[in-house]
Amino acid sequence: MRDHSHHIQVSKEQAIQLILGACQFSPDVEEAPIEQAIGRVLAEDAVAQMDMPNALTCCLDSVAVHWDDFAQLDGDLPNTSAWVRGRDWEFANTGVAMPEGFDTAVVIENVRVSDDEQRIELLAAPSKQFAGTRPAGSKFHKGDVLVEAGLIITPLLAAHIASGNNAAVKVIAKPKVAFLPTGNELVPVGDDIPLGCNIETNSLLMKGKIEQWGGEALLYPITPDDPVALEAVLRRAAAEADIVVLNAGSSKGSDDWSLEILERIGEVLYHQTNHGPGHHSSCSVLDGTPVIGISGPPGGASFTTDFYLWPAMRKFLGQDPWPRRVKVRLAEAFPAGGRPNIGKSPGAQASPAGETRPREGGEFFGIKQMRIRQSDDGFVAAYPPSSSHPDPVEAEVAGAYYALKSGPGAQPPAVGDVIEVVMRPELQRSTPSE
């Protein structure tokens, strides 16, 4: 019988800290066309290549005039009956350079234009020379920093960078994240499914998250529960990727070899966490590459990936890796019940001893996926799932996670209590790390 008594259990916060300590990255920098840079992290300041605007520019739909025709009138209006279009006045439009020789604009609503558009009558005078215009360089000058390095390029920032005549920018290379599905029971989607086997779907989940978070997914084929095969694929992935995500093989089953292999060829920082689902999440280092262990099918793997892969990718990209915490008011009671596990939810029925894991390492928490809504009284309200094990559709509309303390004597918060939740990565701020 293999000995698991030495397994290190940590809290979610301790796990993130250990992962970040294991992530010693030196990302490359590459050039990307600005239209392909949205969502990437700017590696160098984006600098204006020209003055903008590059000429005196009209800032409203108007007619262009000469200030000299108004300067001596002390607010009175000139007689425009003899004015000639193109010499004494001309149409001028928002964002367009002022017609050559003209220096002031009168908004079009204060002008009567003849049907043939050759004569005008002014209803109001400009207040000063250059009224209704912007001087050259008033938006920015050549050499000005438009967007500082470290920010994620949004569509608005991309447009701002391009307005300085930048067709390309320097960005941080995407982190390469290898995903290793393991298990004799797994078969690819679309194949015949033998009795007792499961369809391997976490690759789809991981690919989507990795790419959404700015990485490049390296999806490996299913590796059977064979120590030799597992060691070979782990070594290959550690050499090819910046981060390795290992799925399954981290628990205490007779075919779970992953952590024993990593203890022998690398360093295991922790074996499990004090929450469920996702109890058998882990982190190791192999040849300088962090190996993040994610356990379970998509329901659990989805949020444990949010917990532990997202911070590692954020650190690679120079972004704040810590999740955003928000205080909210509990709007509904947590449901009771749930399947037997280490962390029984408060109010759950007792399970037979043979179906309940013994508690390890002190406190244990059940992760609840919370819906966040604005309440009628103006406060942000949190709604727990309708059951202890929500289906994927209900889980996907949740915007935050709450760690509900479980076990003997644990009491859930009451309706109306203020609790602290962690926002999902999709709702995090995109800010550089300090």
Same structural domain, 398 and 353: yes
The mean pLDDT value for 226-234 works out to: 95
359 falls within a domain: yes
121 in the same domain as 63? yes
Q: Which two tokens stand for residue 17?
A: 């800290």
Q: What is the CATH number of the domain that holds 40?
A: 3.90.105.10
147/247 same-domain check: no
pLDDT of residue 200: 92
Let me know whether 166 and 179 are in one domain. Answer: no
Tell me, yes or no, whether 412 lies in a domain. Answer: yes
337 and 302 within one domain: no
CATH number, domain of 243, equals 3.40.980.10
Domain boundary among 262, 292, 316: 316
Same domain, 41 and 70: no
The reply to whether 1 falls in a domain is no
Same-domain status, 312 and 397: no
Q: Residue 273 domain-assigned?
A: yes
Give the long-range contacts of residues 204-208, CB within 8 A, separation 24 or more: 205/298, 205/301, 205/302, 205/305, 206/177, 206/179, 206/245, 206/247, 206/301, 206/305, 207/179
- Judge whether 433 lies within some domain: no
Q: Does a structural domain hold residue 432? A: no
Residue 297's pLDDT is: 83
In a domain, 3, yes or no: no
**Residue-level pLDDT at 361:** 60
Say if residue 131 is in the same domain as residue 23: no
* Torsion over CA: 304, 307, 308, 314 (sign): positive
Same domain? 338 vs 408: yes
Q: Which residues make Cβ contacts (< 8 Å) with residue 353, sequence separation at least 6? A: none
Average pLDDT of the residues of the chain: 90
Token pair, residue 115, equals 């049907």
Counting the structural domains of the chain, the total is 4
pLDDT (0 to 100) of residue 264: 95
Model confidence at 337, in pLDDT bands (50, 70, 90)?
A: low
Using the predicted structure, report yes or no on whether residue 104 has a pLDDT greater than 60: yes
3-state helix, strand, coil in the chain (%, to 5): 20, 30, 50
CA distance 268 to 132: 67
Residue pair 258/294 in contact (Cβ under 8 Å)? The answer is no
Q: Which of 256, 287, 316 is the last residue of a domain?
A: 316
Q: Sorting pLDDT into bands at 50, 70 and 90, what band is 268?
A: very high
| Same-domain status, 76 and 122 | yes
The pLDDT of residue 428 is 62
pLDDT tens-digit readout, 146-185: 999 999 999 999 999 999 999 999 999 999 999 999 988 8
Residue 246 lies inside a defined structural domain of this protein: yes
Residue 252's pLDDT band (cuts 50, 70, 90): low
Q: Are residues 184 and 299 in the same domain?
A: yes
Residues 196 and 278 in one domain: yes
419-429: b or e for each residue (b if 16 or more CB lie within 10 Å)? bebbbbbeebe
Q: Which domain holds residue 167?
A: 32-50+141-172
pLDDT at 375: 83
- CATH number assigned to the domain comprising residue 114: 2.170.190.11
